[in-house]
Amino acid sequence: MTQIKNIGVFTSGGDAPGMNAAIRAVVRTAMYYGIEVTGIRRGYDGMGKGEFVTMNRKSVSNIIQRGGTILKTARCDNFRTPEGRKNAYEQLLKHKVDALVAIGGDGTFTGAKVFGNEYDIPVVGLPGTIDNDLVGTDFTIGYDTAINTVVDAVDKIRDTAESHDRLFIVEVMGRDSGLIALRTGIATGAEAILIPESKTGLEGLFNRLEFGRKDKTSRIVIVAEGDDTVGGAFEVGRLVQEKFPNYDTRISILGHIQRGGAPSCMDRVLASRVGAAAVEALRDGHRNEMIGLINGEIAYTPFEHAIKHHQGIDPNMIKLVEMLSM
Amino acid sequence: MTQIKNIGVFTSGGDAPGMNAAIRAVVRTAMYYGIEVTGIRRGYDGMGKGEFVTMNRKSVSNIIQRGGTILKTARCDNFRTPEGRKNAYEQLLKHKVDALVAIGGDGTFTGAKVFGNEYDIPVVGLPGTIDNDLVGTDFTIGYDTAINTVVDAVDKIRDTAESHDRLFIVEVMGRDSGLIALRTGIATGAEAILIPESKTGLEGLFNRLEFGRKDKTSRIVIVAEGDDTVGGAFEVGRLVQEKFPNYDTRISILGHIQRGGAPSCMDRVLASRVGAAAVEALRDGHRNEMIGLINGEIAYTPFEHAIKHHQGIDPNMIKLVEMLSM
Amino acid sequence: MTQIKNIGVFTSGGDAPGMNAAIRAVVRTAMYYGIEVTGIRRGYDGMGKGEFVTMNRKSVSNIIQRGGTILKTARCDNFRTPEGRKNAYEQLLKHKVDALVAIGGDGTFTGAKVFGNEYDIPVVGLPGTIDNDLVGTDFTIGYDTAINTVVDAVDKIRDTAESHDRLFIVEVMGRDSGLIALRTGIATGAEAILIPESKTGLEGLFNRLEFGRKDKTSRIVIVAEGDDTVGGAFEVGRLVQEKFPNYDTRISILGHIQRGGAPSCMDRVLASRVGAAAVEALRDGHRNEMIGLINGEIAYTPFEHAIKHHQGIDPNMIKLVEMLSM
Amino acid sequence: MTQIKNIGVFTSGGDAPGMNAAIRAVVRTAMYYGIEVTGIRRGYDGMGKGEFVTMNRKSVSNIIQRGGTILKTARCDNFRTPEGRKNAYEQLLKHKVDALVAIGGDGTFTGAKVFGNEYDIPVVGLPGTIDNDLVGTDFTIGYDTAINTVVDAVDKIRDTAESHDRLFIVEVMGRDSGLIALRTGIATGAEAILIPESKTGLEGLFNRLEFGRKDKTSRIVIVAEGDDTVGGAFEVGRLVQEKFPNYDTRISILGHIQRGGAPSCMDRVLASRVGAAAVEALRDGHRNEMIGLINGEIAYTPFEHAIKHHQGIDPNMIKLVEMLSM
């Protein structure tokens, strides 16, 4: 067992609901094992600038239900340079931080991997991103909350769609991944989804609209932000309107509301479990690994592997969207 | 007391949460007084096409909590022509409808006024629009729900704004009116609001950002859809970014989610009260009037008056936004 | 204009959503006018014990959306004694607090009235209670949020009632007042309401159930906590079950969830307006008054009057419950 | 492949959010494969009474977001007798139903098993219960929504607990299982949970309260309905108050709100997946099996096995409650 005395914890990249629950779990578990915790504000950027704050049990009171991250987050170009990382390491030394828990996504772990290779400091990561696009965990922290927010928003839009017999093109987050679009497409009874991973694209959509049930009084199409079929929801909307002038077509970009809000129960439980496991992993000598949850069990995945692969799309679920909205 | 035997009820214009509660109140109150009710689908358009359905107590069961309108709504160019109105009147005669309750906004009442003048049929209106831009009622049906939806969305956006130290420009509905922006601006602690009714505009906003408190970690600016200071939220965002390059500025257009969702308690109560009062007003011989609620009492406003005036903005409340966000 | 230099603000009695928005408004408005603010924790109890904290603009950042009260609240027997009040006054002198804003209900203002008469310190009050049972304001801070919480809960219960053809007796808060029961009864389409102010009581309820529509698939009865028709929801349920053994009758006590949660838009706006007005009232020499909002305008009511009278029940609204649920 | 022509679908036992999504998936998938669907109202009871309704694609429009079950549900003693089942079978024959999908929990599958053994009709089941107490699926339909409802309610209660420095005993559903209590206990940061499966009981709770952190300003204890440590939340509350008279202890029974509401995204996806899989399973010759989802894959579990075993409690998660609330 490694003798770790002071764990630094930080959030990096886009914020996600449940990050606070994860911070709380790291802090409280460390305290439980007699380890000190240093909060690092604004991710790698704050690490380089020495934005360090001593955490105790009370610093994480009453935050489990809060969206965002109390440690704040930032993107950091500086950390991409060897000087930036050297600087960050010196700050850690100065504050006697001898291990790190990095909460974030792909970019966060890329930084962590390089840093963990260059300097002798154990780093583990927690999957905190609404996109769910990491391997090594069934779900990422924030994904469940985000899809509930989308579903709630589309339920509202459906009211208007029904009342006006309209077709709505709804754009959801997911720059490289259609996972938000996929589950919310099923859950909102969407006519079709457009996602980066599928290539049926516009043709498929047009077919659905042309040969689908005619007595429908509203139609929803979910488009992932990163879908490049034709270049975004507005362009999809334009083409649908052109091809189906009799449909009253509208576009809605859900945008940033998808990142915020009180985390769902599952996101809090996930964050709590992997947060506690991260501290235990560091004590057990793990390093350069992401701590996730697979089939209900804690799973350890080398950063190397987590950032090179992405969670794929189950083709049966794509088919399900279509079959059930008929 | 006029002997009314069959009331036609319809919704027209943009849908608003609480319209179903209003329909329910009209139907059940009419039944209570032994009057029959005919539901007219798709507003004036359906009236001309004879989309009539007989309503009973059960047809409005379990709808008080539903957004949208079970009678559907539509905009109708045809009704603007004398032939269109003649056609509609003939349909009403054919179905023995001898009075009308029109639920909608400005455009709905303009049609109702012309129609009520041309043909001998009593028409009363209920204020159903999320914009709250009618005189003759303190609040319109749907406004309270819409502002709660906005506040809930901005609370979520605030999580991200706080976590990333960002400034968010949030566009809310209100093509001709800043009333949604005004109350949600106060309720979300916005830095500033841009609304059609105020002329402090961009200058005022820039001043706030320049001379405001520097230790703020997030900033929200609410822009009404109809604000023409510089032409929309995107343009406001561009100019802010240009002038304050050190701010991390983002834009969010809330869009159609503002129209849907289960109505708030107040919207259901308002809709129930004015819905019941509309039937009683018709029995008492009222016509060509909108039925609203002012200071907790039922109020009757001639269509003429309701459509020519708009609810103004209390300058003290504009000042409040600024004073409290300092 | 009185020269006030340091306003003490506190919350007392049961907590209510929007109290934080009121605290924020008091603090920020005072700062705006160059007045210092002292936060007094735990109401009159903390006042006597000297639990004082200096407030600034930042102390009330990011609290407008939070339920509860950051200043905490408590009931205090000590303040009912002359010694208790003397002690409190000495603490105020010691901390140079020369005016008070008391946020709470009946009990809070009773204390404030006595204190304001005994000692030469201006006190104004803000109506903060979910019960809405004060005169001098159309609505109290917290009422709108509470009725939305009730409506949301009963909507959920209705799902089960519908699925199982059940009758639900739902108890809502309101120890001396049926105002929560009244509006939520209308908004949830309840069969009947039992409230302290009405005397139709059990007989009326039995009549509704006996002679009401037979094809109903679910029934909701709302009982105010303080209704003494037969002594509480459980007893009502027992008697209904006895008289109508063929109904599948269930009871649900909503309880404390009604006090919490993020305040609604209207509660935040109300709290912000009266909070700002309280500071301005003190500057203008007001004292021993509650600051409320009547017909959209700030209203000043002597404590004496506010605590001796209660908002009554509009009989038309009671009739509405019955008429619309038929 | 069995030639199935007409699938009967019904819901039985307590209702759960997502049952409608499951019905929709069964109906639409059957239609997709050219199979007719008969909706059976009120479970086994309606089956015996011949409450059959022909379903088509449109009968399940716009229900995916609704709580409860459009087919209604009931408990049925009659079906426990051979005559009751004979009667039901004759009704199925009469309506040409040649396969069944039963949506419910333990009791539902017990009935299905006996029936499937006695009569030559293939029956498969879908796990629909908020309790999550079945083996053969990671989660049951309704569980995710229920735990989110609990967490949302406890977040509200926490506001009051914090404001008044109180300890709240909150009772959640789960007659035989602590699974709702377990996850919501973690997610709400509860001090302790009392569940049927754990035997640390009152002693453990008292220890937590005695030796726990003293600077806490609120405490939540979650008690599962079926916990028999001392006989219910009220009794727990009484004993805590007796032992810790300085705590301001309150009790809240969440009750029936836990069963209703719009299903969460995950519940809708789960219901959609297993609903579609149920039809495909019948086509493939499956019978007397429950269709669940394990590790993201469709899983088939004999009724026999599903009803004799219950999902256990992970002791690490019990420890987590304690560790993280310190």
Out of B15, B98, B131, B133, pick the active-site residue.
B131
- Closest chain C residue by Cα to residue B159: C62
In contact, A139 and A296? CB cutoff 8 Å: no
The nearest CA of chain D is from the CA of A28 a distance in Å of 5
For residue A36, is it within any domain?
yes
Give me the CATH number covering residue D185. 3.40.50.460
Whether the per-residue pLDDT at C233 is higher than 80: the answer is: yes
- Closest chain B residue by Cα to residue C182: B269
Establish if B156 touches chain A: CB-CB under 8 angstroms.
yes
Q: How confident is the model at residue C1 (pLDDT cuts 50, 70, 90)?
A: low
8 Å CB contact of D250 and C261: no
**How far lies B174's CA from each of A282, A307, B12, B232, in Å?**
54, 44, 18, 12
In this structure, are C207 and C255 located in the same domain? yes
Residues facing residue B54 across a β-bridge = B38
Nearest to A265 among D147, D158, D295 (CB): D147
HSE-up (13 A, CA, CB side) for residue D82: 1
Give the pLDDT confidence score for residue A2 in this predicted structure. 61
* 3-state SS class at A224: strand
Give the pLDDT confidence score for residue C176 in this predicted structure. 87
Strands (E), A128-240: 166-172, 192-194, 219-224
* 3-state SS class at D112: helix
8 Å CB contact of D73 and C11: no
In contact, B134 and B122? CB cutoff 8 Å: no
Annotated binding residue B131: yes
Return d(Cα D184, Cα D194) in angstroms, integer.
Answer: 12
Residues facing residue D99 across a β-bridge = D7
Whether the per-residue pLDDT at C133 is higher than 80: the answer is: yes
D19 neighbourhood in chain C, CB within 8 Å: 163
User: Residue D311 burial (CB < 10 Å; 0-12/13-18/19+)?
Assistant: middle
**How far lies A181's CA from each of A156, A188, A318, B209, C154, in Å?**
17, 10, 10, 37, 31
Give me the CATH number covering residue C90. 3.40.50.450
Dig out the tokens for C224 from the structure. 């105010």
Establish if B104 touches chain A: CB-CB under 8 angstroms.
no
In this structure, are D151 and D197 located in the same domain? yes
8 Å CB contact of B163 and A15: yes
Place of tokens 């159609």: B256
Cβ-Cβ pairs closer than 8 A, A with B, add up to 103
Establish if C283 touches chain B: CB-CB under 8 angstroms.
no
In this structure, are B251 and B134 located in the same domain? no
In this structure, are A55 and A105 located in the same domain? yes
Residues facing residue C13 across a β-bridge = none
Tell me the ipTM for this assembly. 0.96
Task: Dump the DSSP string for C251-287.
Answer: EEE-GGGGG-SSPPHHHHHHHHHHHHHHHHHHHTT--
Using 50 as the pLDDT threshold, list the residues of chain B that sit under it: none
SS3 content of chain A, % helix, strand, coil (to 5): 45, 20, 35
Establish if C184 touches chain D: CB-CB under 8 angstroms.
no
Percentage of chain C beyond pLDDT 90 is 84
B65: left (phi over 0), alpha (psi -120 to 50) or beta: alpha
Establish if D284 touches chain A: CB-CB under 8 angstroms.
no
Return d(Cα B323, Cα C245) in angstroms, integer.
Answer: 60
Return d(Cα D83, Cα D119) in angstroms, integer.
Answer: 13
In contact, D122 and D282? CB cutoff 8 Å: yes
Element (H, E) at B166: strand B166-172
* 3-state SS class at D62: coil
C135 neighbourhood in chain B, CB within 8 Å: none
In this structure, are D82 and D226 located in the same domain? no
Establish if A34 touches chain D: CB-CB under 8 angstroms.
no
Q: Confirm whether A155 is a catalytic residue.
A: no
Nearest to A323 among D61, D215, D276 (CB): D276
Out of D15, D131, D133, D227, pick the active-site residue.
D131
In this structure, are D44 and D159 located in the same domain? no
Return d(Cα D230, Cα A82) in angstroms, integer.
Answer: 62
For residue A78, is it within any domain?
yes
B69 neighbourhood in chain A, CB within 8 Å: 163
**How far lies D313's CA from each of B42, D187, D323, in Å?**
54, 16, 17
Establish if B164 touches chain A: CB-CB under 8 angstroms.
yes
In this structure, are D253 and D161 located in the same domain? yes
8 Å CB contact of B257 and A163: no
Out of C131, C144, C227, C267, pick the active-site residue.
C131
For residue C1, is it within any domain?
no
In contact, B87 and B118? CB cutoff 8 Å: no
Mean pLDDT of C314-323: 92
Residue A103's nearest CA partner among A14, A35, A177, A29 is A14
For residue B214, is it within any domain?
yes
Q: What is the DSSP letter of B128?
A: B
The nearest CA of chain B is from the CA of C66 a distance in Å of 10
Asked which of B241, B259, B277 is the last residue of a domain, the reply is B259
Establish if C218 touches chain D: CB-CB under 8 angstroms.
no
Using 50 as the pLDDT threshold, list the residues of chain A that sit under it: none
Annotated binding residue C130: yes
Return d(Cα A45, Cα B139) in angstroms, integer.
Answer: 48
Residue type, C205: L
For residue D133, is it within any domain?
yes
For residue D302, is it within any domain?
yes
D215 neighbourhood in chain A, CB within 8 Å: 58
In contact, C146 and C180? CB cutoff 8 Å: yes
Nearest to A153 among B155, B158, B257 (CB): B257
For residue D270, is it within any domain?
yes
Q: What are phi and psi of D224, to 5 degrees?
A: -75, 140
In this structure, are B11 and B118 located in the same domain? yes
Mutation pick from D265, D268, D294 vs chain A, by most beta carbons of A within 10 Å, is D265
Look at chain C and report how many structural domains it folds into: 2
D254 neighbourhood in chain C, CB within 8 Å: 257
Q: How many CB atoms lie within 10 A of CB D312?
A: 11
Q: Where does chain B have alpha helices with state H? A: 19-32, 43-49, 82-94, 106-118, 143-164, 179-187, 201-211, 233-243, 265-283, 303-308, 315-325
Annotated binding residue B105: yes
The crossing angle, in degrees rounded to 10, of helices B179-187 and B315-325 is 30
In contact, D315 and D199? CB cutoff 8 Å: no
Residue type, C71: L
Nearest to A68 among B73, B160, B252 (CB): B160
SS3 content of chain B, % helix, strand, coil (to 5): 45, 20, 35
Mean pLDDT of C39-58: 97
* 3-state SS class at C10: strand
In this structure, are B270 and B136 located in the same domain? yes
Dig out the tokens for A199 from the structure. 């290539």
Give the pLDDT confidence score for residue B1 in this predicted structure. 53
User: Residue B82 burial (CB < 10 Å; 0-12/13-18/19+)?
Assistant: exposed
Instruction: List Cβ neighbours of C99 (8 Å cut-off, separation of 6 or more).
Output: C2, C4, C6, C7, C8, C121, C122, C123, C282
Whether the per-residue pLDDT at C266 is higher than 90: the answer is: yes
Establish if B25 touches chain C: CB-CB under 8 angstroms.
yes
In this structure, are A248 and A268 located in the same domain? no
In this structure, are D122 and D269 located in the same domain? yes
Dig out the tokens for A192 from the structure. 């079709």
CA geometry: angle A86, A90, A92, nearest 5 deg: 115
Return d(Cα A66, Cα A19) in angstroms, integer.
Answer: 9
8 Å CB contact of B147 and C266: yes
Cβ-Cβ pairs closer than 8 A, A with D, add up to 128
Establish if A79 touches chain B: CB-CB under 8 angstroms.
no
Instruction: List Cβ neighbours of B252 (8 Å cut-off, separation of 6 or more).
Output: A255, A256, A257, B157, B168, B169, B170, B171
For residue D55, is it within any domain?
yes
B19 neighbourhood in chain A, CB within 8 Å: 163
Dig out the tokens for D30 from the structure. 């059957």
Instruction: List Cβ neighbours of C231 (8 Å cut-off, separation of 6 or more).
Output: none
Domain range for D246 is: 143-259
* 3-state SS class at A231: coil
Using 70 as the pLDDT threshold, list the residues of chain D that sit under it: 1-2
8 Å CB contact of B265 and C184: yes
In this structure, are D83 and D198 located in the same domain? no
Nearest to C261 among D159, D168, D217 (CB): D159
A138 neighbourhood in chain D, CB within 8 Å: 296
Whether the per-residue pLDDT at C301 is higher than 80: the answer is: yes
Establish if C107 touches chain D: CB-CB under 8 angstroms.
no
Give the pLDDT confidence score for residue A1 in this predicted structure. 54
Q: How many CB atoms lie within 10 A of CB D81?
A: 10
